Structure 1
């Protein structure tokens, strides 16, 4: 069962974590962001009491999962929450969470989802089709030379 109340907002949470990293205390950070201190304590508990290694990336589209969201998935999964419960807490579709877990839990990982490894796999630069296959590359090069 998901939490009742407002959905989490990544912008507020990111600002909260930045304040904590700069040395501001939890109570003061909560006051600056404009939320109750219990919310701040809940966010810290959700991440195991430690701030995430990297904050939500501003440059990435909201279409893709951020490192912060992947860390939440890992934490909530360890706590035994269902995929639907995790999705409702993140404000994402259950299919997104399911796909992420299916894609990034490998047999050699012993069924444990590693958020940092999953994020690194997701950001892996992929080569283009023309780099991998010499046939289409030759055709494309010939067409470029014609022009």
Structure 2
């Protein structure tokens, strides 16, 4: 919050709230940008936060730390994601500037870029099925 305020974003423009799970599909697309900061630890090494895929699938850009699971791969999606490599003041300031730029982009452009990032990284048809099929073939030696 402080980083956004330091960049001139008024407090009234920063909204955080809890939403019931059944309201998420209607509520998520109303946001300008999703934030997912997770404390790095051993148990998170192989995880991928579901909320990042949800943000992007809903057409909302995301700000996240890249040291959780495969999140660093999203750095290639600069028009939809801001990936932090550290939480020092310089990195946070830079991330806040990039996040504000994404949030200020035209709505349709943000939506298209975010949904494309979701498709590129989380699609069951493009990513999930081919990778599982390759794994199963390798395990059963059907290559």
Q: TM-score if structure 2 supplies the norm length?
A: 0.30
> Which structure has the higher relative contact order (CA within 8 Å, separation 6+)?
2
Larger radius of gyration, structure 1 or 2?
A: 1
